[in-house]
Amino acid sequence: MADKISYIARKFIEEDVPFVIAKVVATKGSAPRKRDAILLMNIEGNTWGTVGGGLLEAETEKHCREQLETKEKIRTYEFYLDEKKSGEGALEMGCGGDATIQIEYIDPQNPGSFVEDFKGSSQAYLFGGGHVALALDPVLRHVDFETTIIDDREEYANPERFPDAKATIVCDNFDHCFEEIETDEDSFIIIITRGHKGDLQVLRQALRKPHAYLGMIGSRRKNALLFEQLLKEGFTQEELDSVYAPIGLDIKSETPEEIGVSIAAEIIKARAEHNEGAAAVKHAETMAKLHD
């Protein structure tokens, strides 16, 4: 979805169409969408993407329309998604959490740094912040991925260890590792935790999340044991066959640096195939409309 919205935004700039971008910049507790969820609205009030639906979406869209009229550059709104709260920003929603949404007006004649800042880099989520993640992170960023590092140990997921990552997240344990992120059909999920237990915990959740790529480190024997467990839990063989495991192209890699290169190479290939597939679908939809 992020890539699609980036394409639409660039098209509006080329066509001299003003628009606004609403973005979830922070959440607390239970919220319908996590950080970085995006909604775009053009001057005609048409929207793409979502920041969560319901009253939160309705209020956000109202503020978007206002900002399209005032042309104010940036405004930030705090929303409290709890029917027990009152006052400005309080919404009668049962989520119980909070959401901070930033709305930015984009003047196509003077978009500023928007084009560069909103370039729609692919999102890579690295579950595990060990030696392989440390080697893989800079390689992925050199090929236009934004990286988020998730680990259950603060010493392995922090800005000092990964200074150029988009985000570092410490989860209580890997059973709750998706609570602060929201993947979509363009996301790349990389499972490289420190052991079998963590890999299984992440994979069990990742299989139910939208993604463009899902890879897991480990030997064929280890992965076969995990897949056997997941089959018993009700996952299908087709779902398990979609996992890149063992992760990475076979280049006889041994060191963390070599493994990082092999993983990055496989992901580059998977991204290209994913984008080709998306382009083919878009072409087919366009041709179908022409023949309607």
Specify the pLDDT at position 266. 97
Mean of the pLDDT values across residues 33-53? Answer: 87
Structural contact between residues 199 and 217, judged by C-beta atoms closer than 8 angstroms: yes
Structural tokens at position 148: 């988020």
Specify the pLDDT at position 188. 97
Please report which confidence band the pLDDT of residue 12 belongs to, taking 50, 70 and 90 as the band edges: very high
Specify the pLDDT at position 147. 96
Please report which confidence band the pLDDT of residue 289 belongs to, taking 50, 70 and 90 as the band edges: very low
Structural contact between residues 190 and 125, judged by C-beta atoms closer than 8 angstroms: yes
Exposure string (b/e) for 121-146, b if CB count within 10 Å is 16 or more?
bbbbbbbbbbbbbbbbbebbbeeebb
Specify the pLDDT at position 36. 74
Specify the pLDDT at position 90. 76
Specify the pLDDT at position 286. 43
Mean of the pLDDT values across residues 171-196? Answer: 94
Mean of the pLDDT values across residues 70-88? Answer: 82
Kindly state the helix (H) or strand (E) to which residue 148 belongs, with its residue range.
Answer: strand 145-151
Specify the pLDDT at position 211. 95
Specify the pLDDT at position 160. 98
Whether the pLDDT of residue 32 is over 90: the answer is no
pTM of the model: 0.63
Bridge-based pairing state of the strands 47-49 and 38-42? antiparallel
pLDDT digits (tens, 9 = 90+) for 1-11: 555 677 788 88
Specify the pLDDT at position 288. 54
3-state secondary structure labels for all residues of 237-277: HHHHHCCECCCCCCCCCCCHHHHHHHHHHHHHHHHHHHHHH
Q: What is the mean pLDDT of the chain?
A: 88
Mean of the pLDDT values across residues 78-98? Answer: 71
Structural tokens at position 45: 């009030």
Write the Ramachandran bin of 183: left for phi over 0, alpha for psi from -120 to 50, otherwise beta.
Answer: beta
pLDDT digits (tens, 9 = 90+) for 193-245: 999 999 999 999 999 999 999 999 999 999 999 999 999 999 999 999 999 99
Please report which confidence band the pLDDT of residue 52 belongs to, taking 50, 70 and 90 as the band edges: confident
Specify the pLDDT at position 202. 98
Specify the pLDDT at position 267. 96
Specify the pLDDT at position 283. 42
